Chain A
Amino acid sequence: MIGLVDGNNFFVSCERVINPRLVGKPVAVLSNNDGCCVSRSNEFKSLGIQMGTPYFQLKERPDFNNLVFCSSNYELYGDISRRIISILRDEAVDVEQYSIDEAFIRPPSVELMEYGKRLRAKILKWTGIPCGVGFAATKTLAKIANHIGKKLPEGVFVMPEDPTEILSSLPVEEVWGIGRRMGERLRMRGITTAAELRDIPDSFIRSIGSVVTVRTASELRGVEAVVDKNYDADPDSVSCSRSFGTPVTTVDALAESVASFASQAAEKMRRHKMVAEGCNVYAQFGTACDSRWVERTVVFEAPTNATNEILNAITKIVGALYIPAVKYRKSGVVFFGLSKEDAARQMSLFDMPNESSGKLKKLYKTVDGLNRNFGRGKVFSASEGIKREWKMKRSLLSKRATTFWDELMEVK
């Protein structure tokens, strides 16, 4: 069994944890440079304002003054995300963080409905974030169960052993990993629902789609397949982690491992022409039965996919992950706040040092090409800095209440 836990309206929920004034109001969080709505409260959604609506358009609305907007506070979201993951690690057998607000878990063998409710209640109480929880045989089915669970008052849904009824009413393009384009191609061949995709033979799918679609169909049948290897689709999360062959005990070796994973992830982002707002860096130590984690959130000064910028930011906090006399077994990075490179540039037209970033792009194209041809890591960054020439615009930023001492919440 696989569970998917994700935060409801995650960014807005985080803002509400530190600011009770936002409760019950139509609130939206804006993307970097206050571009467009990326997270909406239920009150905001019920006004019919879609995800991705540009902020400047909303200024025209007669009810604009009743709407509440926040700039992306990735320091806060990253911190609360880490809290949720650490609770999941305490409660589940295995946890795979998928993005800043969702994680797949392997639940223990207990009654799942009760377990899900308990998990949800604990996350809500400890962090203040309401979650949706879905359980099913595979990740793809767990995604569907999670969507159903989120709409239920108890927030939890366990996929029945025979999910035919649910899959028959689910449009095929809403299946995780299918998307609009593949959905259209399937529809042209008469496949309109998730159940139909599940029930057609693989050979037929192969004639329309890629091997990825075959895997998705397999997952719909309840057979686990690797689903996170879709090189064509833009990832909604980029992460890299590995268990060490030999336990790591020095700060240098720990830093090296984290830097190597971050470089790989940066390469993946550049391949997809995506940039990230920041990342969570973590390391695991202890024994298999009693494992413990240390984690830190890094927010880049501006969204980036440049290895040296990422390494500069990460290097500063690796020291904080290190505990002397501890044997590290695993480390990793999870990038968040992903957006298209071009979109990010468009929004910061005036701040962009186009010359240096153009050069950087060329440089990394060369570096990535060399690494592809001669093996990964042949060309790497010496971790030397370039000057920060521009900063993100975040005019409606709330307090970074969990990562900066001088921005704590105030109580009277």
Chain B
Amino acid sequence: MKKTQIAGSVVAGFPSPAEQYLEPPLDLNELLVKHPAATYFVRVQGDSMIGRGIYDGDILVVDRSLDPCDGDVVIAAVDGEFTVKTLSLSKGARRIENGGEIKLVAANPKYHDIILKSGQELNYFGKVTACIHRFRKGIQV
């Protein structure tokens, strides 16, 4: 008979009293990634968002499953390139579906706002939920 043997562990003697307190170590993924299937990491290029603490070379955690709201830092595609900006909706509108003007605002006065023309859709990629900033820039992962 063909049979695949799967080795399982056999416990002999008394179970260790420590076993019931055994917990896996803290995992940064658990802290930073709520929806693994919807989460992408992206690398920041440039200084357009330094006012929000996002610097050149930082890694952003981006969750696609979350709907963008007014004031969120989002990733969107503009003219074929990904950009990270603060989403700004017209007064009173919290969500994009509520209509009104959509702006992508940099957190650096050097950059102009990107204003979507009426009828132009926001090519939303995802919401930035965290920024990973490393202090020693020399070391790349």
Interface residues of B in 75-94 (CB under 8 A from A): 75, 77, 80-84
The answer to whether A402 has its CB under 8 Å from any CB of chain B is yes
Other-chain residue from B4, B8, B40, B77 in contact with A260 (beta carbon distance below 8 A)? B4
Across the two chains, which residue of chain B brings its CB closest to A86? B37
Interface residues of A in 379-412 (CB under 8 A from B): 401-402, 405-406, 408-412
> Could you tell me if B8 and A245 are in contact, using CB atoms closer than 8 angstroms?
yes
Chain B neighbourhood of A87, CB < 8 A: 37
Chain A, 117-154, contact with B by CB distance < 8 Å: what is the 0/1 string?
Answer: 00000000111100000000000000000000000000
> Could you tell me if A409 and B40 are in contact, using CB atoms closer than 8 angstroms?
yes
> Could you tell me if A412 and B8 are in contact, using CB atoms closer than 8 angstroms?
no
Complex CA–CA separation, A50 to B41 (angstroms) = 35
> Could you tell me if B64 and A242 are in contact, using CB atoms closer than 8 angstroms?
no
Other-chain residue from B5, B7, B65, B75 in contact with A411 (beta carbon distance below 8 A)? B75
The answer to whether B33 has its CB under 8 Å from any CB of chain A is no
Say what secondary structure dominates the interface of chain A. mixed
> Could you tell me if B84 and A253 are in contact, using CB atoms closer than 8 angstroms?
no
> Could you tell me if B8 and A324 are in contact, using CB atoms closer than 8 angstroms?
no
Complex CA–CA separation, A324 to B4 (angstroms) = 24
Chain A, 318-349, contact with B by CB distance < 8 Å: what is the 0/1 string?
Answer: 00000111100000000000000000000000
Interface residues of A in 225-263 (CB under 8 A from B): 242, 244-250, 252-253, 256-257, 260-261
A-B contact count (CB 8 A): 113
Chain B, 50-70, contact with A by CB distance < 8 Å: what is the 0/1 string?
Answer: 000000000110001100000
Interface size on B, residues (CB 8 A): 39
> Could you tell me if A246 and B8 are in contact, using CB atoms closer than 8 angstroms?
yes
Contact flag A83-B7 (CB < 8 Å), given A20-B82, A410-B82:
no
> Could you tell me if B83 and A411 are in contact, using CB atoms closer than 8 angstroms?
yes
B67 to chain A, nearest CB (A): 9
Complex CA–CA separation, A6 to B125 (angstroms) = 22
Across the two chains, which residue of chain B brings its CB closest to A404? B141
Across the two chains, which residue of chain B brings its CB closest to A375? B2
Complex CA–CA separation, A325 to B9 (angstroms) = 12
Interface centre among A20, A21, A264, A405 (most CB of B within 10 A): A20
The answer to whether A376 has its CB under 8 Å from any CB of chain B is yes
> Could you tell me if B45 and A410 are in contact, using CB atoms closer than 8 angstroms?
yes
Complex CA–CA separation, A249 to B123 (angstroms) = 45
> Could you tell me if B41 and A256 are in contact, using CB atoms closer than 8 angstroms?
no
> Could you tell me if B35 and A126 are in contact, using CB atoms closer than 8 angstroms?
yes
> Could you tell me if A412 and B83 are in contact, using CB atoms closer than 8 angstroms?
yes
Across the two chains, which residue of chain B brings its CB closest to A243? B6
> Could you tell me if B4 and A408 are in contact, using CB atoms closer than 8 angstroms?
no
Complex CA–CA separation, A246 to B140 (angstroms) = 43
Other-chain residue from A127, A253, A324, A410 in contact with B22 (beta carbon distance below 8 A)? A324
Other-chain residue from A242, A253, A411 in contact with B8 (beta carbon distance below 8 A)? A253
The answer to whether B43 has its CB under 8 Å from any CB of chain A is yes
Other-chain residue from B4, B24, B44, B45 in contact with A325 (beta carbon distance below 8 A)? B24
Across the two chains, which residue of chain A brings its CB closest to B35? A126
Complex CA–CA separation, A257 to B60 (angstroms) = 36
Q: What 6 A-B pairs are tightest by C-beta distance, nearest first?
A: A246-B8, A20-B77, A126-B38, A21-B80, A405-B141, A83-B37
18 A-B Cβ contacts within 8 A? A86-B36, A87-B37, A125-B65, A126-B37, A242-B4, A244-B8, A248-B7, A257-B6, A375-B2, A401-B40, A402-B40, A406-B140, A409-B82, A410-B82, A411-B43, A411-B82, A412-B81, A412-B82
